């Protein structure tokens, strides 16, 4: 192990204590000493952090490197390391890659990634962790259990309630994975294989988190017209089960729904003040990165891909879907195709432009795209309020997270710039807009996610803590990625340490020292 001295920096420890000038000694993967002045002799490496902040490594609690499969085919995760992220939590939005009760279960990720050619040689959560440990990982990885993964593993594409026996099987799979170190349970209630889940089913699973003090992560059923009812559902589960609840990528989609924002926040803040451990994560962008089929009415995508295609091609169902879409007030001039499986020529094009070229309405173009891509299409949609984003970033209940994935090489698809720039963008906003004190900002990306995860020695820069460390210049930190050229590393982060080894130094990638984290 390398013995490292970080000199002359300003330490922000993640605990909201005031920043202070100090030197930091790292040895054997841990923070050995923090002191005002330490002699620079007898160290393998000395990092001069003059004029820079020294903070805990950033924790991305809402990450999809597993469902985009980059955790396996690009395990160095450079787009994350380069923005200071040292730990990620995968298995979000109801879809995990473990446990896998049947071969059908892995299909929950196909809305994000084509399954052709992938190799899965595990079934349990413990086996998944064992396989990960055999890889050289750029970041630390923790995981949740996806509800849709459990459900689809048992029901396949059937549209119905689970039986009592199936509920018992899902419960046993969840409890086994929790015992093997999973951090909690995730729901993706907007997606095809969870839209029919009942409160009884969801609470029946979630209640088993309490004994291990693990948390529930929820992608809401609706982020637009049904937003308030969706919030109520999540709060009810949290109250019934007495468990920590985190809402994933909280937002109000569509300008016609922005008036719901204040009522949404009042619900969350009231629940928090009444004793519910509720939080949410948010990314600092006003453009979402969405699965295109979720724009359809929910009945149209019940049963998954084959049923979506059948209904799109059924004259009667197609007419009903088009009637629904015409009433949704989507701004098709702001919806760009980011991924179009098997149709790369569509990538980067606006849906409205596709409609003009095809000589059809915007709504018909949307259905044509789904059909041409076998439903595997993802879009950028500029449908969020900048003002709301700022309010969410500064809320005492918020954690900052990417909702993205780690990339080390370019692909024909467009990825959301948050995959490369979430943390630098947030920190540059803190600097330019003065929206938070630095200590508060760092806490949102270090200690707060670590606390929810139950990790005692990460997310803080204190003696004996794991040496996940970021050194960055607060005056230079800035994201460089955008929607047309997303594969751009950020500026201003000079060094990143993962478990005591230098992973990134002055735009050069070094050791891969990530670990699998279980609890």
Shared domain for 62 and 49, answered yes or no, is no
Q: Say if 486 falls within a structural domain.
A: no
Does 67 reside within a domain? yes
Q: Which of 359, 381, 403 is the last residue of a domain?
A: 381
505: DSSP letter:
E
Whether residue 270 is found in the same domain as residue 404: yes
Distance CA 352, CA 342 (A): 20
Does one domain contain both 44 and 137?
A: no
CATH assignment of the domain containing 471: 2.30.40.10
Phi-psi group of 203: left, alpha or beta (phi > 0 → left; psi -120 to 50 → alpha; rest → beta): alpha
Confirm whether 391 is domain-assigned. Answer: yes
- Say yes or no: 279 and 300 in one domain: no
Is 485 among the domain residues?
no
Domain co-membership, 31 together with 74? no
Residues 81 and 207 in one domain: yes
pLDDT of residue 197: 93
pLDDT of 272: 98
114 DSSP 8-state letter: -
**Closest by CA position to 191, among listed 111, 251, 113, 274:** 111
What does the pLDDT read at residue 302?
A: 87
The answer to whether residues 221 and 80 belong to one domain is yes
Report the b/e string of 274-286 with b at 16+ CB within 10 A.
eebbbbbbbbbbb
Name the pairing type of β-strands 20-27 and 4-11: antiparallel
**From its phi and psi, is residue 439 left (phi > 0), alpha (psi between -120 and 50) or beta?**
alpha
How many domains would you assign to the chain?
3
**Domain shared by 244 and 142, yes or no:** yes
The single residue listed with the structure tokens 């468990």 is: 243
pLDDT at site 379: 98
- Are residues 192 and 199 in contact, defined by beta-carbon separation less than 8 angstroms? no
Q: Decide: 140 and 514 in contact? Cβ < 8 Å.
A: yes
Is position 174 within any domain?
A: yes
300 and 245, same structural domain?
A: no
* pLDDT tens over the chain, length 519 residues: 789 999 999 999 999 789 999 999 999 999 999 999 998 888 999 999 999 999 999 999 999 999 999 999 999 999 999 999 999 999 999 999 999 999 999 999 999 999 988 989 999 999 999 999 999 999 999 999 999 999 999 999 888 899 999 999 999 999 999 999 999 999 999 998 888 899 999 999 999 999 999 999 999 999 999 999 999 999 999 999 999 999 999 999 999 999 999 999 999 999 999 999 999 999 999 999 999 999 999 999 988 899 999 999 999 999 999 999 999 989 999 999 999 999 999 999 999 999 999 999 999 999 999 999 999 999 999 999 999 999 999 999 999 999 999 999 999 999 999 999 999 999 999 999 999 999 999 999 999 999 999 999 999 999 999 999 999 999 999 999 999 999 999 999 999 999 999 999 999 999 999 999 999
In a domain, 517, yes or no: no
Distances (CA, A) of 212 to 67, 240, 299: 26, 16, 36
- Judged by phi (left if over 0) then psi (alpha if -120 to 50, else beta), residue 398 lies in beta
Rounded Cα–Cα distance for residues 184 and 125 (Å)? 12
Distance CA 87, CA 142 (A): 8
Q: Do residues 513 and 133 lie in contact, with contact meaning Cβ atoms separated by under 8 Å?
A: no
Does residue 149 sit in the same domain as residue 85?
A: yes
Is residue 515 a part of any domain in this protein? no
Say yes or no: 411 and 467 in one domain: no
Q: How far apart are CA 478 and CA 408, in angstroms?
A: 19
Domain hosting 64: range is 58-286+385-453
Q: Residue 519 falls within a domain, yes or no?
A: no
Q: Is the peptide bond before 99 cis (omega within 30 degrees of 0)?
A: yes
- Please report, for the domain that includes residue 133, its CATH number: 3.20.20.140
297 and 415 co-located in one domain: no
């Amino acid at each position: 192990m390398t013995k490292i001295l970080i000199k002359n920096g300003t330490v922000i420890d993640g605990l909201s204590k005031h920043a202070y000038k100090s030197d930091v000694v790292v040895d054997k993967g841990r923070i050995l000493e923090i002191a005002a002045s330490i002699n620079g002799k007898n160290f393998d490496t000395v990092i001069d952090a003059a004029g820079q902040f020294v903070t805990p490594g950033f924790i991305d609690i809402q990450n999809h490197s597993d469902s985009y499969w980059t955790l396996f085919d690009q395990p160095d995760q450079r787009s994350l390391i380069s923005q200071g992220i040292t730990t990620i939590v995968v298995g979000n939005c109801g879809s995990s890659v473990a446990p896998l009760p049947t071969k059908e279960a892995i299909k929950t990720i196909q809305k994000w990634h084509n399954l052709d050619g992938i190799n899965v040689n595990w079934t349990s959560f413990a086996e998944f962790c064992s396989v990960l440990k055999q890889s050289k990982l750029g970041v630390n990885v923790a995981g949740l259990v996806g509800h849709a993964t459990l459900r689809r593993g048992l029901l396949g594409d059937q549209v119905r309630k689970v039986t009592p026996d199936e509920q018992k099987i899902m419960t046993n799979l969840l409890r086994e994975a929790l015992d093997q170190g999973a951090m909690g349970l995730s729901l993706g209630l907007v997606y095809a294989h969870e839209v029919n889940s009942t409160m009884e089913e969801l609470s029946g699973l979630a209640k088993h988190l309490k004994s291990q003090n693990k948390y529930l992560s929820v992608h809401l059923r609706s982020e637009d017209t049904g937003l308030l009812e969706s919030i109520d559902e999540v709060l009810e589960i949290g109250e019934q089960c007495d468990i920590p609840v985190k809402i994933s990528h909280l937002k109000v989609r569509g300008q016609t729904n922005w008036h719901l924002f204040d009522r949404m926040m009042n619900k969350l803040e009231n629940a928090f003040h009444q004793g519910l451990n509720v939080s949410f994560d948010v990314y600092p962008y006003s453009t979402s990165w969405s699965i295109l089929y979720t724009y359809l009415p929910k009945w149209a995508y019940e049963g998954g891909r084959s049923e979506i295609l059948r209904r799109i091609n059924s004259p009667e169902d197609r007419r009903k879907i088009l009637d629904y879409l015409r009433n949704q007030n989507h701004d098709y001039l702001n919806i760009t195709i980011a991924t179009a499986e098997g149709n790369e020529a569509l990538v980067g094009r606006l849906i409205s432009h596709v409609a003009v070229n095809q000589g059809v309405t915007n709504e018909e173009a949307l259905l044509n795209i789904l059909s041409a891509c076998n439903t595997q299409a993802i879009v950028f949609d500029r449908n969020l309020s900048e003002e709301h984003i700022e309010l969410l970033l500064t809320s005492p209940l918020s954690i900052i997270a990417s909702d993205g994935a780690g990339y080390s090489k370019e692909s024909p698809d467009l990825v959301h710039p948050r995959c490369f720039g979430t943390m630098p963008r947030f920190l540059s906003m803190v600097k330019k807009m003065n929206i938070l004190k630095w200590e508060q900002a760092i806490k949102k990306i270090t200690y707060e996610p670590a606390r929810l995860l139950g990790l005692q020695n990460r997310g803080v820069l204190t003696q004996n803590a794991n040496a996940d460390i970021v050194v960055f210049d607060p005056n230079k930190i800035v994201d460089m990625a955008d929607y047309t050229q997303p594969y751009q590393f950020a500026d201003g982060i000079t060094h990143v340490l993962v478990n005591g080894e230098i992973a990134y130094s002055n735009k050069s990638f070094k050791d891969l020292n990530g670990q699998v984290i279980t609890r």
